[in-house]
Every structure is written in structure tokens, then in C-alpha cells.
């Protein structure tokens, strides 16, 4: 726990100092002040002004002015906004994840039409299998109905039904239940395939409509 309390400020300090070096370099490059005497001024919460020739964490945290040797403002840098920084970071992370996902999709499918055909092939294979299984289910139900009807006729005639016939009905019941479950699972899988491919196809259409995305830029 002690290490965590110390590490958090150090991470913040690293961020602030990193931003300080970055903003300093950008300011020098953008204003043509490299090699000249530059001052950095900030005002704290009590209104006290601090002037220095180097940027500190306090400069970044409170915001500061970059001044030339005549104390004229070259550029103003607003206070560091941790919330905005985190929002920007979240946006960058999201863009990076999107870029990786786009690359993965494009490795699998060359276009939206290609993905659509892949989806349709999977659905067609499931539909074909379900059609066969439904025929098998109808056949099993028909067999069961015939045996049950035969057992009922024997009972009406006062004959004792064969135990093997009762066992056959039990086995058919299990087969019918298993096959019905399989058909239901395949039907659900069709919906799953549609849901899985929907965002992929939509994203590929977006990429195709945006040349910059299609080229990976």
C-alpha cells in the first residue's frame, strides 16, 4: 500500500514533466525563439507571480506564460487539465483498438461483400443441417406414433404389450428430445451468426466508403 501512495504522485510528475518538455519544444519551434533568453511566469492561487528560466511541475499545473527578454508574452499555456488529458487518452486508446480491430477484420475479409458471403455460407450450412434434422424428427415422431397406436390397440384387445415395444418408445423419446434440442441450438446459432457479422459488415462498408481508412491511414 505504501508503494502505491508513492507511485501515483511519481506517475503524475512524469506526465507533467513530459508535457513540459513537449510544450517547450513545440513553443520554441513554433515561435522561432530557440537560442534566445526565455522566461516562464505563473501566478499561484494567492496571486503571487513566479518568474523562472525553466518550466516546473507548478508551471504546468497552474498554467503559465512564455515571455521574451523584454517580458512580452510569446505564448500562453493553460493549466494542465487531468480530466481532459484522460479523455484524450481514452480517445487515443479507443482509436488504437479500432485500428487493430480493422486490421483483424481486413485479414479475414477482403470486402463487405466477402463478409456477407461468408455469413450467408454459414447460415446456409445451418439451414441445410436443420432441414435434415427436421426430417429425421418427423420420422422419429411418426415411428413413435405408430408404436404407441399399436400398443393402445393391443391393450384394447386385452393383450399385454411387449416390453421391447415400451423400451423402444422410451428410446425414441430420448432421440426426439436430443434432436429437438439440436434444432433449437442450430436456430439460435443462425441468430448468433447474423449478430456476429452485422458490425463486421457495417464496418467494412464504412472502410470502403472512406479511402483513408481503406489505405490504413
Q: 93-104: per-residue pLDDT in tens?
A: 888 888 889 988
At 5, the pLDDT band (50, 70, 90 cuts) reads very low
Q: Which residue has the cell 423400451?
A: 167
Break the chain into its structural domains and give their ranges.
Answer: 2-80, 93-214
Q: Which residue has the cell 450467408?
A: 120
Q: Which residue has the cell 472512406?
A: 210
CATH of the domain spanning 93-214: 1.10.287
**Which 3 state secondary structure label does DSSP give 144?**
helix
- Is residue 71 within 8 Å of 10, Cβ to Cβ? no
pTM: 0.55
* Tens digit of each residue's pLDDT (9 = 90 or more) over 124-142: 999 999 999 999 999 999 9
At 26, the pLDDT band (50, 70, 90 cuts) reads very low
Amino acid at each position: 500500500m505504501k508503494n502505491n501512495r508513492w507511485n501515483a504522485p511519481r506517475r503524475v510528475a512524469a506526465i507533467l514533466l513530459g508535457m513540459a518538455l513537449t510544450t517547450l519544444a513545440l513553443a520554441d519551434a513554433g515561435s522561432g525563439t530557440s537560442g534566445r533568453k526565455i522566461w516562464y511566469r505563473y501566478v499561484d492561487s494567492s496571486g503571487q507571480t513566479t518568474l523562472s528560466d525553466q518550466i516546473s511541475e507548478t508551471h504546468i499545473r497552474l498554467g503559465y506564460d512564455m515571455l521574451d527578454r523584454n517580458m512580452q508574452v510569446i505564448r500562453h499555456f493553460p493549466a494542465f487539465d487531468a480530466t481532459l488529458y484522460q479523455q484524450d487518452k481514452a480517445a487515443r486508446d479507443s482509436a488504437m483498438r479500432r485500428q487493430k480491430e480493422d486490421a483483424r477484420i481486413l485479414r479475414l475479409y477482403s470486402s463487405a461483400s466477402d463478409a456477407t458471403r461468408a455469413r450467408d455460407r454459414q447460415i446456409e450450412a445451418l439451414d441445410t443441417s436443420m432441414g435434415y434434422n427436421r426430417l429425421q424428427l418427423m420420422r422419429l415422431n411418426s415411428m413413435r406414433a405408430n408404436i404407441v397406436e399399436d400398443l393402445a390397440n393391443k391393450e384394447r384387445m386385452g393383450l399385454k404389450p411387449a416390453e421391447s415395444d415400451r423400451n423402444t418408445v422410451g428410446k425414441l423419446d430420448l432421440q426426439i428430445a436430443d434432436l429437438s434440442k439440436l434444432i433449437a441450438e442450430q436456430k439460435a446459432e443462425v441468430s448468433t451468426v447474423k449478430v456476429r457479422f452485422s458490425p463486421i459488415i457495417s464496418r467494412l462498408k464504412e472502410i470502403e466508403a472512406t479511402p483513408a481508412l481503406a489505405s490504413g491511414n
